[in-house]
Every structure is written in C-alpha cells, then in structure tokens.
C-alpha cells in the first residue's frame, strides 16, 4: 500500500509514537537522594489525569457487555488478530502477539552483538499465556534470523492454587508444554515482587552469557477502580524495571507495558529508564485498543549495571511494595527539560485516548449505515497495512514452539481467560460492592456466575486419570513453596464461584451465615450419576481387583449389590472447620492413611486394590 493511498485514520492509528529527547543534564541522582522524600505529585500532570478521568466517567452508566461489543466493532484494528492467525498460521496468536510483532518491526530490539554472535538470550516477565514469546519465535523463523535462542519466562504460577484467579492468567497452553523454561521462584508462586524471586531468577539465568532482551507485560484487572489504574499497578512496574536493570546485559533492550504516566511513581520510573538507556520511546501499537490507557515503553542500548551501581542497594531495599512508602526521586532531582519532555509525551497520548473515547460515545448513540460501512472498509485496510508493515509471512507448524502438544496436560479450557464476567455498569458495580454479604445475596450479586453453574453433561469429565506405566517415583521431583492459606484458583472451578465460596465460608465463621451443611441443596448443582460412575470404575478394572471407596457410600452400595469386591472407608468429618483445604490438612491425611493401611491389611491373599 502506497502512503498516498493510505486513509488518514490508518496512518493516525499506527503512528502513535514518542521519543524522549535527552540532554546531558539527565543523570541519576546520588544514593542519598534515592527514596529519601515523601510523595509529591506534579500539578500539570494531575490536571491531565483529572481531565482524562472526567472523560472516563462518561462511561460509568454503560453496561460492560454492551460497551465492549460496541468498541470491538469501532476498533479499526479489530480484524488484524484473526487474519494473522489464519493467514500466517501464527502460534498462540492474540492481541499481545500482534502488538509485540509491531514493536519488534518498528524498533531494533535485537542488539547487533546478538545477531553477530548468533546467540540470543531473552527474559519475559509477566508473560502468560506466552504471546510475546511465540511472536518473537515467528519473527526469528520467518525473517531468517539464525541464532541459538534461549529464553526464560515468568508469570503467576497457574498451578499454585493460592494465586488469585482474578489476577492470574490461567491459560497454560504454552506453559504446560514448555515448563522447564518457566521460572516460578523459590516459593513456586511466580510472584516476582519479592527479593527471593529476584535472587532466584539471577541464579536461574546464570548459564546465559548475557541477556539481550527483557520484556514485561504485567498488569491486573482494575475495573473496580479504573481511575487509579496507574497507582495500583506502579509497585509491579517498579519491580519489573529493577528486575530488568539487574539482569539485562550491556547494549540490551527492554519492552515494558505501562498505562498513563501522570503520577510521580511513573514519572520517576521514566526518568530512571532515560538515565539507564541510550534511547527511550513510547508507543501505542495500532493493535492496542485506542480507547484504553495502555502504552509500551521501548528502551534501547542499555548502559549496563554499572550505571546503577551506586543506587542499587536502595533499589533492592525497596523492592516489592516498598515504593509505596517513599518517592523514588524527589522533585528537585528531575531536570526541568525532562519534565517538559515528559509532559509533552503525556499530553500527546492523553489527547489520542480522549478523542477515541468521545468518538466511541458519539457512535454508541448515533451510528448510521454509512458510518458502519466506512468502519468496515477501514478494518479491512488496517489488515492489509499491518501485514505489509510487518512483512508477515506464513510459518509452518514444525517451526512452532509447541509442535505436538501433549493431550490433556493443560488446565480446563472452559475457565481460560475468565477474570470478570460482570456485565453491569460501573455505577451499579460500586453500589453492589458497598453491600454486606447478606445484602449481596439478596440483591443477586452472584447471579451472573450462578447462571452458568448448570452442567449439561452430568458427571462427564469428573475423573482424574494417569497412565500407570508413567508412575515411576524415581522420575518425580519435589517442589517446595509457600503453604496455601486458602484456595483462590483451581482448574476445576470458575474463579468467581470460588471467590463467592471463600466469601461464604468467611461469613460462616463470622456468624453471618447459619450452618452451611444444613442448607438445602442447590437445584442447579450436578447430581452424581452412580451408574455412570460405577461403569467407569468397572471399565478401569482388570481381573480380580478390590475397590476401596472413600466417602461415596451410594457407590459402595451399588457395587456391593452387584457382588463386586469392595470396601467402604468412612472417617468422621469435622463440620467445625469448614475449609477448601480440608483434604490437605495433616490430621485428615493421617486419618486417611491409617484407614487405607487398615483396609489393606484386611485384603485376602491374591487380591489387588484399585
């Protein structure tokens, strides 16, 4: 597509970029000036924040599902992802995949020394489900970049059930098939906001001669307080930046997702990055939804760890949530030229976002057929432009990271990507959040998730199986980590239902709820089909096997009536300490083991057990 033929809307969409113009006075302050002052916001930037939040507040009465459906249609780049997935055979192709591909094409992320030496080492923080990695792999394979590529990735561990499912991305399609390349830290949670994780990561990558690229795509759901997204995510951004500065090699590149850059925490981080890298750019990829605050900071040519040597102890000391206590730099440490440049940057992206929100609002109430036709045309043009801009080529499956995925190794796909299903307006959500638990139940706060609670195929998928031939204890390894205070995520339960159950249990202990066990059964819950379970159990048996049945007395009765050799293991369950972790409590486990051992001793000679 010739530039003269390009519609202005397309050029506008793919040209949201800004570069900081550095001067010699942009230098890191002395260690004594680091984390030595209280937080102090800058009025010019807070005015921009207030202005943007005023525009965002116009959306407070819009229902989430209606608004998302509308903005999905008005998103000019909305057809890029499915077209790239289809035409380029892109692995794990998501919006993040397309955003990274756009960035890697617009900026020289891969240092020359990596290309010359044909060795590329990369670290990917907050990476789940893995789209940046698969996008980089596609780029390397289709652009004939011949190198020995080694990568390490991090994310909140989807297999650690203490991680909040409403914050964590549970999609493990790539993780499950590339697990040795993922580092979840000494506590096995994947939480990078701890010194233990930082130390462990440095040890984990010690075999890499030098790290050439670090990416950080961290965020979490801020729908409960969208106006404060920047401050809520700032501790995570700080930890991502410090992790990069302590692991990246000299001359390396860094890609960091951020949002608005109005508050002192973001301003200080941007100054830190400008003092550590030769070039710092901000880009809003065309494939990023134009109405949100998401931007990517692209840092090129790292000066090396020596540049932060003096302030490194303080950076590490305040790692984690420590940045919330003091300001990284005081206002007097920031040159006026930097503040003016940063204000120009913030004004630029604020203007684009505000215009998009207002345009979407206008079209929400008044979109004629001509406007729909124009949007459809622009969406098609955006696909063509994106493919040409990124020189997008098809990749064969043999070049994917996961060529032959192992069947059944991933989490329940029905829960993937589900973080928040609420469809009401922001105002309605805030009103509901102010209610007590009892009031929430009475007013239907939990109804959106309960509606999906009916299982159409009863009992199907209720068995966990593993091939006996692979059960070799010599091949097992033990992982140590933080004990589970409570279960916040599970591959067997939708996140919001699990959250509701935890809240119900908490209310029970506070006395708000009467005896849970005395409540009538839920009419929507699946009633176990004993005949189905029995048929599956019997199909797994081979020859004279004895069946131990724990807890399911109806199944025991069913099999016993049919003269199958079985024993029923019954143990008292305390109703005083209701917990999702009951089966992991030491007392319970000791009781269960004792019962099993006693049952085994009663087995007749020659019998085996199932």
449 is in an annotated binding site: no
CA distances from 109 to 139, 213, 251, 509 (A): 12, 7, 10, 54
pLDDT value at position 608? 55
- Rounded to whole angstroms, the Cα distance separating 154 from 123 reads 8
pLDDT band at 512 (very low <50, low <70, confident <90, very high): low
pLDDT: which is higher, 162 or 549 = 162
The mean pLDDT value of the chain amounts to 85
pLDDT value at position 460? 52
pLDDT value at position 493? 76
149 is in an annotated binding site: yes
Please name the residue that has the structure tokens 């709820």.
513
pLDDT value at position 170? 84
Position 345 pLDDT exceeds 50: yes
pLDDT: which is higher, 336 or 419 = 336
Contact 101, 138 (CB under 8 A): yes
- Rounded to whole angstroms, the Cα distance separating 205 from 121 reads 9
Position 104 pLDDT exceeds 90: yes
Span of 152-156, 323-327, 536-540, 576-580 with lowest mean pLDDT: 576-580
CA distances from 268 to 125, 338, 344, 371, 600 (A): 21, 10, 16, 43, 65
pLDDT band at 419 (very low <50, low <70, confident <90, very high): very low
Average pLDDT over residues 175-199: 95
DSSP 8-state symbol, 70:
H
Contact 595, 571 (CB under 8 A): yes
pLDDT: which is higher, 526 or 151 = 151
Q: Strands, E, within 76-147: which ranges? A: 119-125
- Dump pLDDT digits (tens) for 300-316: 999 999 999 999 999 99
172 is in an annotated binding site: no
pLDDT: which is higher, 555 or 171 = 171
Span of 124-138, 331-345, 461-475 with lowest mean pLDDT: 461-475
Share of the chain above pLDDT 90, in %: 56
pLDDT value at position 35? 92
pLDDT value at position 605? 64
SS3 track for 19-67: ECCCCCCCCCCCHHHEEEECCCCCHHHHHHHHHHHHHHHHHCCCCHHHH
What angle separates helix 80-87 from helix 369-389, to the nearest 10 degrees? 40
- Dump pLDDT digits (tens) for 350-402: 999 999 999 999 999 889 999 999 999 999 999 999 999 999 999 999 999 99
pLDDT: which is higher, 106 or 491 = 106
What DSSP letter does each residue of 261-283 carry, written as one string?
Answer: --SHHHHHHHHHHHHHEEEEEEE
- Dump pLDDT digits (tens) for 38-57: 888 999 999 999 999 999 99
- Dump pLDDT digits (tens) for 64-89: 889 999 999 999 999 999 999 999 99
Average pLDDT over residues 441-450: 69
Share of the chain above pLDDT 70, in %: 82
Query: What is the helix (H) or strand (E) element at residue 547, kind and residue range?
Result: strand 545-550
For the chain, the maximum distance between any two Cα atoms, rounded to a whole number of angstroms, is 88
pLDDT band at 539 (very low <50, low <70, confident <90, very high): confident
38 φ, ψ to 5°?
A: -75, 165
Give the chain's end-to-end CA distance (angstroms, integer): 66
CA distances from 480 to 163, 191, 192, 483, 484 (A): 15, 15, 17, 9, 12
Position 416 pLDDT exceeds 50: no
pLDDT value at position 475? 73
Average pLDDT over residues 91-116: 96
pLDDT band at 481 (very low <50, low <70, confident <90, very high): confident
> What strands, in cross-sheet order, belong to the sheet with 148-153?
17-19, 277-283, 295-302, 253-258, 213-216, 119-125, 148-153
Q: What is the pTM of this model?
A: 0.86
pLDDT value at position 207? 94
Decide if 257 is catalytic: yes
The radius of gyration of the chain from alpha carbons, rounded to an integer in Å, stands at 28
pLDDT: which is higher, 115 or 150 = 150
CA distances from 178 to 101, 181, 183, 303, 397 (A): 21, 6, 11, 32, 16
H helical segments located in 299-392? 312-317, 336-365, 369-389
Position 415 pLDDT exceeds 50: no
pLDDT band at 523 (very low <50, low <70, confident <90, very high): low
Average pLDDT over residues 307-328: 88
Average pLDDT over residues 480-485: 78
- Rounded to whole angstroms, the Cα distance separating 389 from 353 reads 23
Candidate list 49, 62, 257, 289, residue with the active-site label: 257
Instruction: Using CA atoms of 572, 578, 580, 581 in order, give the dihedral in degrees to the nearest 10.
Output: -60
pLDDT band at 456 (very low <50, low <70, confident <90, very high): very low
pLDDT band at 547 (very low <50, low <70, confident <90, very high): confident
């Amino acid at each position: 597509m010739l530039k003269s033929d390009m519609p202005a809307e397309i050029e506008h969409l793919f040209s949201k970029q800004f570069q900081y113009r550095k001067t010699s006075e942009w230098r890191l302050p002395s260690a004594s000036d680091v984390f030595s002052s209280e937080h102090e916001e800058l009025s010019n930037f807070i005015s921009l924040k207030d202005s943007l939040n005023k525009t965002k507040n116009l959306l407070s009465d819009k229902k989430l599902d209606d608004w998302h459906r509308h903005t999905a249609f008005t998103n000019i780049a909305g057809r890029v992802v499915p077209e790239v997935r289809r035409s380029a055979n892109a692995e794990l192709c998501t919006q993040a995949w397309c955003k990274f591909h756009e960035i890697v094409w617009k900026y020289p992320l891969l240092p020359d020394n990596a290309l010359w030496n044909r060795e590329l080492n990369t670290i990917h923080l907050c990476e789940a489900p893995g789209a940046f990695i698969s996008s980089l792999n596609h780029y390397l394979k289709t652009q004939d970049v011949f190198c020995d590529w080694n990568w390490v990735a991090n994310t909140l561990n989807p297999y650690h059930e203490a991680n909040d499912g409403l914050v964590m991305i549970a999609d493990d399609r790539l993780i499950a098939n590339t697990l040795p390349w993922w580092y979840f830290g000494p506590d096995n949670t994947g939480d990078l906001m701890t010194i233990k994780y930082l130390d462990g990561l440095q040890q984990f990558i010690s075999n890499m001669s030098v790290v050439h690229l670090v990416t950080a795509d961290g965020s979490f759901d801020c729908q409960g307080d969208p106006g404060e997204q920047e401050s809520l995510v700032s501790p995570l951004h700080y930890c991502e930046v410090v992790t990069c500065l302590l692991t990246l090699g000299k001359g390396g590149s860094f890609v960091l997702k951020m949002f608005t850059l109005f508050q002192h925490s973001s301003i200080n981080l941007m100054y830190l990055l400008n003092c550590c890298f030769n070039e710092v750019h901000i880009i809003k990829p065309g494939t990023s939804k134009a109405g949100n605050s998401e931007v990517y900071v692209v840092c090129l040519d790292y000066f090396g760890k020596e540049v932060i040597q003096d302030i490194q102890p303080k950076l590490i000391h305040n790692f984690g949530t420590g940045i919330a206590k003091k300001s990284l730099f005081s206002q007097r440490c920031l040159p006026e030229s930097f503040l003016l440049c940063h204000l120009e940057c913030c004004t630029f992206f604020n203007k684009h976002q505000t215009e998009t929100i207002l345009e979407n609002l206008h079209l929400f109430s008044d979109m004629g057929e001509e406007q729909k036709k124009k949007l459809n045309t622009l969406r098609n043009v955006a696909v063509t432009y994106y493919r040409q801009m990124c020189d997008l080529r098809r990749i064969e499956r043999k070049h994917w990271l996961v060529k032959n995925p192992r069947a059944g190794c991933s989490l329940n796909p029905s829960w993937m990507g589900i973080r928040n299903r609420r469809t009401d307006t922001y105002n309605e959500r805030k009103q509901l959040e102010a209610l007590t638990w009892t009031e929430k139940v009475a007013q239907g706060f939990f109804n959106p998730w309960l509606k999906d609670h009916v299982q159409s195929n009863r009992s199907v998928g209720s068995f966990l199986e593993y091939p006996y031939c692979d059960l070799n204890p010599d091949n097992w390894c033990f992982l140590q980590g933080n004990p589970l205070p409570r279960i916040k995520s599970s591959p067997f339960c939708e996140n919001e239902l699990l959250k509701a159950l935890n809240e119900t249990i908490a209310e029970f202990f506070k006395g708000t709820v009467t005896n849970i066990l005395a409540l009538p059964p839920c009419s929507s819950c699946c009633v176990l089909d004993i005949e189905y379970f029995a048929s599956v159990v019997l199909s797994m048996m081979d020859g004279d096997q004895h069946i131990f049945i724990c807890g399911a007395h109806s199944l025991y009765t069913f099999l016993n009536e049919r003269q199958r050799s079985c024993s029923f293991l019954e143990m008292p369950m305390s109703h005083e300490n209701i917990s999702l972790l009951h089966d992991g409590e030491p007392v319970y486990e000791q009781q269960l083991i004792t019962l099993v051992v006693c049952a085994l001793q009663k087995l007749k000679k020659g019998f085996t057990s199932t």
